[in-house]
Amino acid sequence: MYIYRINLLFLLLVATFNVFATYYPTSSWEISSPEDQQLRSDNVDALVNLAFFDDSTQAVVVIKNGKIISEKYAEGYDKNSHGTSWSMAKSYYAALIGISIDKGEIGSLDDKVAKYLSYFNDERSEITIRDLLDMSSGLDFPQDEHETMFFQEDHLKYAMGVGVEKDAGLKFEYNNVNSMLLGDILISATGKKADTLLKERILDHIGVTDYKLWKDENGNVLTYCCVDMSARDYSKIGLLFSRNGNWDGKQLISKKYIDETFQVVWDITPERFTTLQRGYSLHWWISAYKEDFKIFNTSGKFGQYTFVDRENDIVVTKITKYKQQDSGDVQKWGFMKYLRWAGVENAIKLGRVLIENGAVESGSDVITPFTDEEGESKEFNARYGDFINAIENLSCNCYKLEAFN
């Protein structure tokens, strides 16, 4: 009887460990039910339905404890279909700065940019790396937020030529040039381009193998945008941050840097895509910051997001419809580069018309990430606050078994 009780106790301990053991996906994902992860199916369904209220949605993946508890794809798409990140990529490349600090290649976030980029030894000499990452560099800030840079042959040359408008650290201004400069800092600090670093220091370790890291016509990595991969793979990057930079026992990004990222620097930012009041920190948006519920997220121009609730180990990715590119990862503009003179919004509209009418062939005449009107979120952005509340409904049910009664 005594031995029987010991064996029973051992089995119970093993079962408990298996339920709560930290799981990491490999080349495949474990699929689980919400209830098995102590969440309510109706809350999960409500979240997914909110995302697909917008016809532009391509995919939604909901992850709890590293396991997929729900995913849905628009007709014609599946788990292998690529989306394009747009500015979600800012958060990925910013992580490389943290890794370089961990490795001693960069001194600290408060290092002057001029320490790494000699062309900053001018009116920009007081700007720090932190200023770039917190979007408070004080660099010239036009109405288009330097999205015009996207239509250049040499994005880095464009970024290098942007001067100072105000003192650093005084004001949040979402400036794409801040992010484009990160790649040049990383080359100076490590001797490697940002796409190589992202592959070697993050993607290879978390099992992401099918992706595109876009570059301009001069080979400069677009560190302010443009990483193509599946919704599941975007979610892996979110899971890495949810797990404090650790992946299956290997610390890829220090917890110290993740902790610094997941704090509030700017508690109120100008309205962008949504009327929900949001904040910003080290190239991550803050969509909720309460005592018991905090949501940090990556964000892309046309409605691409990965939301991370670190305290409850919940990751939600939502991407919009994208025609997967099969023609390389280096931009080619051809005569369409002249569209930039029409202004960003007009250039987008004209480009869509030319491609949709067959006057320009995407992937041949023009090679670039491209979101047509079908993939541009509208209804979702209007209900963005409802979506954040729906994630909170997931989170508040964690470990509360009485919620199922």
Cβ neighbourhood burial of 331 (10 Å; 0-12, 13-18, 19+): buried
Report how far residue 330's alpha carbon sits from residue 318's, in angstroms, rounded to the nearest whole number.
25
Instruction: Specify whether the CB–CB gap between 313 and 243 falls below 8 A.
Output: yes
* Nearest to 79, CA basis, from 89, 68, 87: 68
Report how far residue 52's alpha carbon sits from residue 60's, in angstroms, rounded to the nearest whole number.
8
Instruction: Specify whether the CB–CB gap between 134 and 280 falls below 8 A.
Output: yes
Considering the entire predicted model, what is its pTM?
Answer: 0.90
Domain regions of the chain by residue span: 41-332+367-404
Residue-level pLDDT, tens digit, the chain, 405 residues: 545 454 544 444 444 444 447 999 998 999 999 999 999 999 999 999 999 999 999 999 999 999 999 999 999 999 999 999 999 999 999 999 999 999 999 999 999 999 999 999 999 999 999 999 999 999 999 998 999 999 999 999 999 999 999 999 999 999 999 999 999 999 999 999 999 999 999 999 999 999 999 999 999 999 999 999 999 999 999 999 999 999 999 999 999 999 999 999 999 998 877 888 999 999 999 999 998 899 999 999 999 999 999 999 999 999 999 988 788 999 998 777 767 666 667 777 777 777 777 777 777 778 999 899 999 999 999 999 999 999 999 978 644 433 333
Residues in the chain: 405
* Nearest to 113, CA basis, from 122, 281, 146: 122
* Nearest to 212, CA basis, from 1, 225, 201: 225
* Maximum CA extent, the chain: 85
Name the CATH superfamily, with its identifier, for domain 41-332+367-404: DD-peptidase/beta-lactamase superfamily (3.40.710.10)
Structure tokens at 65: 């404890």
Residue 9 neighbours by CB distance under 10 Å: 10
Residue 371 neighbours by CB distance under 10 Å: 23
